[in-house]
Chains A and B, each alone.
Chain A
Amino acid sequence: QQPVQSPQAVILREGEDAVINCSSSKALYSVHWYRQKHGEAPVFLMILLKGGEQKGHDKISASFNEKKQQSSLYLTASQLSYSGTYFCGTEMNTDKLIFGTGTRLQVFP
């Protein structure tokens, strides 16, 4: 039941955009997005609860499709600090947070 993320890895130059997808075979109660730097704990980015929801802050935003089986994270005008591994975390009304397969993002100058 682990959500599948795509792509597995992305390499960007500063200022470029990226989209990371998170897909589940079943409808989700919510989807979280986290970024993890090597050797550190994940850092919360945002949570989406409603089908069709879109939200964001600064240059990072996310969407949750109507069927609540897919979410996308949008990174625009990427910065060096965006480098890390991005995980979606999903909950299926069980109060358990299950993480996706992860997407490694590397931003170069």
Chain B
Amino acid sequence: GAVVSQHPSWVICKSGTSVKIECRSLDFQATTMFWYRQFPKQSLMLMATSNEGSKATYEQGVEKDKFLINHASLTLSTLTVTSAHPEDSSFYICSALRGPMVTEAFFGQGTRLTVV
């Protein structure tokens, strides 16, 4: 199957700092990437849809100024958590689509963010 690489796997940062998470599709071009957030023992909640070359589409309740998404190329999308606070601590996962239709979504390994 296709490979999606997410980096870093885990990060600890101080409250008020910003953290950037990268999501790369290694062997295919991803026109669309998704960013999810998952709290312990809960489901994956879609945060935003990232399309190459255009602004991301955010789900209701997700602050776009706090969670900056950039999809600069067909193989790279980044999520920046700005001015992170302890309540932003979570597991962030990206996924990528290989084509225009939703067939199989390929997931990155996830990033465990802890804000102290």
Counting contact residues on chain A (CB < 8 A from B), the size range is 20 to 34
Instruction: Say yes or no for B67: interface residue by CB 8 A criterion.
Output: no
A96-B46, A96-B49 known; A40 vs B110 contact (CB < 8 Å): yes
Instruction: Say yes or no for B74: interface residue by CB 8 A criterion.
Output: no
A-B contact count (CB 8 A): 56
A residues near B54, Cβ cutoff 8 Å:
none
Main secondary structure of the interface of A (DSSP, over half): loop
Is there an interface contact between A102 and B112, defined as CB atoms closer than 8 Å? no
Say how far A64's CB is from chain B's closest CB, in angstroms: 14
Is there an interface contact between A97 and B43, defined as CB atoms closer than 8 Å? no
Which residues between 63 and 114 of chain B lie within 8 Å of chain A, taking CB atoms? 91, 93, 95, 97, 100-110, 112
B residues near A98, Cβ cutoff 8 Å:
46
The complex places the Cα of A2 from the Cα of B44 at a distance, in Å, of 10
Say how far B103's CB is from chain A's closest CB, in angstroms: 7
Say how far B62's CB is from chain A's closest CB, in angstroms: 13
Query: Which residues of B are at the interface with A, using a C-beta cutoff of 8 A?
Result: 1, 6, 32, 34, 36, 41-46, 49, 91, 93, 95, 97, 100-110, 112
